[in-house]
């Protein structure tokens, strides 16, 4: 799951810089033949804790240098995964296991760049990091616009299923739109509106910029507010400043607004006052149906962005076990292989972010699941597709590229399971479903859970939008039914009290920390059972002709129906 996403990126490229190589890292075709040995790891057909431990301990060893994209540790990781695919007899999709992902790093020059608001002739230059953090997704060294009219568009949401349109009756072409974070459901806690407390995709900052771009705006500023954003201004300062890695999109980012940014809450209030407007009152109006966008009369925005651009390349690692009857229909298992790499500025002696839980466990799980399928007496009738994606910690990049440039038609993916960070916790009675109540995949999961004497439960903090912060969302927002489930907290021994304490300890002491390391003392009975349950979800699809869908009313259902109907 990604929060402090840019440290790795910086160290990855600085690692390259450190080695004095200016040429960007590329994925070579020869990697194929240099596939590393799976180091004589014996493995049995069954999904076992020992097999999982073998793979996790390897990927999380210092040798793999925290598996940052576009680094030697990343290359080693890709080769290791490909070697397992080869061992299991998985075929490449196309002529290679490696599917290149073009990356671009953009670093705003905060000395020479500026974002100012002119109010009735008075120019207010917003202070970087104090008032505003801004950047451009245009892959250009210089981007600017002048005197762009400003408009407050409430939550900036266009949701036909809720008859909601915050851009109703206003043309924002070339204008600067100012937007609230999260959604009216969170603001009103009305369960019938935008899923109530649970964040919808409309509430995510990514959606806000995407919708503003669709409307032709020149710039889009999201107003930061700690509770609805689910993190403080410090996270905004840290995550969106410095080198930003992203996918190199085919249009070079031209389809995005020229400037994206966050406004601090104080700065936003001051900007609204300078237009004679009351942000708090407008915020109240914005959460009610029928809200109309408000021109911030007398206010214009001007910005100049100078950005250093650097290109690189990484790869998703994909392998397929061809189905016997319907080889062109795919059951997908996905897990990100990347982690935060080595950070030389990290306090303490240990600079390597080994990422044992996040996400060596997920990679181990999909390999073990593939082994089970590959050694089953009866071959699945549908194909089982494994995709180990890169760049998750940098913003779900590998999975986003998979969604944009799919290696198999998305309409032919029956459903997918994303595995991200399974805690090596003791056996539990429950299974946590992130984004609970979304699709018929949960019905399949429920059957498998019952089979293991377990029950399903929603994640405890739906307002934080965890459903939108891991790789499954990249395919979900393309319509593909995706499941993200995790080990439970209702421990068979010690109950929820023990379970909450266990996950709290991980989050506080090991999450995105060099201490996220494999330990020989790990007892993997709990993880083994969870991975077997997830295998059974895939099994139910791979040996059937069912097409599970999003539930009626779900935000992705219409997309899927259109996808399935398309030729
Ligand atoms: Zn992760």
Q: How many angstroms separate the CA atoms of 332 and 412, rounded?
A: 10
CATH topology of domain 14-99+322-565: Aminopeptidase (3.40.630)
Q: How many angstroms separate the CA atoms of 503 and 488, rounded?
A: 9
State in Å: Cα 1 to ligand 1 middle: 4
Say which residues have a Cβ less than 8 Å from residue 196's Cβ, sequence separation at least 6. 185, 186, 188, 189, 190
Q: How many angstroms separate the CA atoms of 97 and 139, rounded?
A: 29
Say which residues have a Cβ less than 8 Å from residue 377's Cβ, sequence separation at least 6. none
Q: How many angstroms separate the CA atoms of 559 and 475, rounded?
A: 11
Mean pLDDT value of segment 128-156: 97
State in Å: Cα 392 to ligand 1 middle: 7
State in Å: Cα 501 to ligand 1 middle: 20
pLDDT for residue 45: 81
pLDDT for residue 191: 87
Q: What are phi and psi of 415, to 5 degrees?
A: 180, 160
Q: How far is CA 214 from the centre of its chain?
A: 21
State in Å: Cα 166 to ligand 1 middle: 33
State in Å: Cα 359 to ligand 1 middle: 5
Read off the pLDDT band of 10 (50, 70, 90). Answer: very low
Percent of the chain at pLDDT > 90 equals: 80
Q: How many angstroms separate the CA atoms of 320 and 407, rounded?
A: 11
State in Å: Cα 465 to ligand 1 middle: 15
- 95-112: b or e for each residue (b if 16 or more CB lie within 10 Å)? ebbbbebbbbbbbbeeee
State in Å: Cα 421 to ligand 1 middle: 6
State in Å: Cα 483 to ligand 1 middle: 15
State in Å: Cα 190 to ligand 1 middle: 31
State in Å: Cα 316 to ligand 1 middle: 15
pLDDT for residue 6: 37
DSSP, res 128: B
User: Where exactly does CATH 3.50.30.30 map onto the chain?
Assistant: 109-309
DSSP, res 20: T
**CB 52, CB 107: distance < 8 Å:** no
State in Å: Cα 169 to ligand 1 middle: 41
DSSP string, 94-117: TTBSEEEEEEEEEEE-TTT-EEEE
Q: How many angstroms separate the CA atoms of 80 and 333, rounded?
A: 17
pLDDT for residue 345: 81
State in Å: Cα 357 to ligand 1 middle: 8
Residue 566 has pLDDT above 90, yes or no: no
**CB 542, CB 382: distance < 8 Å:** yes
Query: What CATH architecture applies to the domain 109-309?
Result: 3-Layer(bba) Sandwich (3.50)
Mean pLDDT value of segment 183-205: 89
Give the Å distances, CA to CA, from 296 to 148, 195, 276, 452, 530.
11, 30, 8, 58, 53
- Residue given tokens 């799980």 in the structure block: 365
State in Å: Cα 433 to ligand 1 middle: 16
Any idea which of 101-115, 315-329, 420-434, 461-475 has the lowest mean pLDDT?
461-475
State in Å: Cα 106 to ligand 1 middle: 23
DSSP string, 60-100: TSGGGGGG-TTSHHHHHHHHHHHHHHHHHTPBPBTTBSEEE
State in Å: Cα 336 to ligand 1 middle: 7
Biggest CA-to-CA distance, the chain: 77
Say which residues have a Cβ less than 8 Å from residue 262's Cβ, sequence separation at least 6. 132, 133, 134, 205, 221, 222, 223, 224, 236, 240
State in Å: Cα 230 to ligand 1 middle: 18
User: Where exactly does CATH 3.40.630.10 map onto the chain?
Assistant: 14-99+322-565
Q: How far is CA 184 from the centre of its chain?
A: 23
pLDDT for residue 42: 59
- 310-329: b or e for each residue (b if 16 or more CB lie within 10 Å)? bebbbbbbbbbbbbeeeeeb
State in Å: Cα 529 to ligand 1 middle: 20
Report residue 23 as tokens. 């040429």
User: How many C-beta atoms surround the C-beta of residue 118 within 10 A?
Assistant: 18
HSE on the CB side for 200, CA within 13 Å?
24
Residue 212 has pLDDT above 60, yes or no: yes
What are the pLDDT digits (tens) for 104-139? 999 999 999 999 999 988 999 999 999 999 999 999
State in Å: Cα 358 to ligand 1 middle: 5
Report residue 125 as tokens. 């230059």
What are the pLDDT digits (tens) for 396-411? 999 999 999 999 999 9
Mean pLDDT value of segment 509-528: 95
How many residues comprise the chain? Answer: 567
DSSP, collapsed to helix, strand or coil, labels residue 386 as strand
The residues that bridge with 326 in the sheet, in sequence order, are 382
User: How many C-beta atoms surround the C-beta of residue 494 within 10 A?
Assistant: 14
Q: Is 377 exposed, middle or buried (0-12, 13-18, 19+ CB in 10 A)?
A: exposed
Dihedral sign for Cα atoms in the order 42, 45, 50, 53: positive
State in Å: Cα 340 to ligand 1 middle: 10
DSSP string, 305-352: EEEEEEEEEEEEEEEEE--SSEEEEEEEEEEE-----B-TT-SSS--B
What are the pLDDT digits (tens) for 18-55? 444 344 445 554 444 444 455 455 577 899 999 999 99
State the helix-helix crossing angle for 361-375 and 525-542, rounded to 10 degrees. 50
Q: How many angstroms separate the CA atoms of 558 and 390, rounded?
A: 28
pLDDT for residue 23: 40
């Amino acid at each position: 799951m990604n929060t402090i996403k840019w440290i790795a990126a910086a160290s990855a490229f600085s690692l390259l810089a450190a080695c004095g190589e200016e040429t960007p890292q590329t994925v070579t075709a020869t990697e194929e033949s240099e596939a590393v040995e799976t180091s004589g790891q014996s493995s049995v057909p069954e999904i076992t804790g020992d097999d999982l431990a073998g793979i996790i301990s390897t990927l999380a060893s210092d040798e793999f240098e925290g598996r940052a994209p576009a680094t030697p540790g990343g290359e080693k990781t890709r080769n290791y995964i490909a070697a397992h695919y080869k061992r299991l007899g998985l075929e490449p999709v196309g002529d290679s296991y490696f599917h290149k992902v073009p990356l671009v790093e953009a670093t705003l020059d905060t000395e020479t760049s500026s974002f100012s608001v002119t109010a009735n002739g008075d120019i207010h230059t917003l202070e970087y990091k104090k008032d505003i953090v801004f950047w451009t997704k245009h892959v250009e060294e210089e981007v600017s616009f002048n005197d762009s009219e400003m408009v407050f568009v409430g939550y900036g949401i266009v949701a036909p299923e809720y008859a909601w349109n915050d851009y109703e009756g206003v043309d924002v072409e070339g204008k600067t739109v100012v937007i609230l974070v999260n959604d009216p459901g969170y603001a009103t806690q009305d369960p019938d509106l935008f899923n109530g407390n649970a964040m919808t995709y409309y509430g995510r900052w990514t959606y806000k910029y995407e919708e503003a771009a669709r409307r032709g705006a020149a710039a889009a500023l999201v107003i930061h507010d700690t509770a609805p954003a689910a993190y403080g201004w410090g996270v905004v300062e840290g995550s969106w400043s410095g080198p930003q890695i992203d996918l190199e999109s085919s249009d070079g980012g031209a389809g995005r607004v020229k400037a994206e940014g966050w406004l601090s809450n104080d700065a936003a209030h001051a900007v609204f006052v300078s237009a004679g407007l009351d942000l708090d009152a407008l915020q109240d109006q914005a959460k009610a149906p029928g809200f109309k966008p408000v021109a911030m009369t007398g206010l214009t925005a001007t910005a100049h962005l100078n950005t250093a651009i650097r290109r690189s390349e990484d790869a998703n690692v994909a392998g397929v076990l061809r189905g016997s009857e319907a080889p062109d229909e795919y059951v997908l298992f996905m897990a990100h292989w990347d982690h935060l790499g080595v950070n030389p500025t990290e306090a303490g002696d240990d600079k390597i972010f080994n990422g044992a839980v996040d996400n060596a466990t997920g990679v181990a799980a999909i390999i073990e699941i593939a082994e089970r399928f590959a050694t089953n007496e009866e071959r699945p009738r549908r194909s089982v597709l494994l995709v180990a994606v890169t760049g998750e910690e940098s913003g779900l990049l590998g999975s986003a590229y998979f969604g944009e440039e799919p290696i198999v038609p998305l309409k032919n993916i029956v459903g997918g399971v994303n595995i991200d960070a399974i805690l090596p916790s003791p056996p539990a009675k429950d299974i946590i479903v992130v984004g609970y109540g979304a699709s018929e995949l949960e019905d399949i999961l429920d059957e498998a859970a019952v089979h293991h004497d377990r029950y399903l439960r929603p994640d405890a903090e739906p307002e934080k939008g965890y459903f939108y912060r891991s790789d499954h969302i990249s395919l979900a927002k393309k319509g593909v039914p995706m499941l993200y489930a995790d080990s439970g907290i209702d421990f068979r021994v010690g109950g929820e009290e023990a379970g909450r304490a266990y996950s709290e300890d991980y989050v506080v002491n090991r999450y995105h920390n060099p201490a996220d390391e494999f330990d020989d003392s790990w007892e993997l009975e709990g993880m083994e059972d969870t991975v077997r349950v997830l295998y059974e979800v895939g099994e139910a699809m791979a040996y059937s002709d069912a097409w599970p869908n999003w539930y009626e009313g779900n935000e992705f259902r219409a997309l899927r129906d259109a996808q399935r109907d398309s030729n």
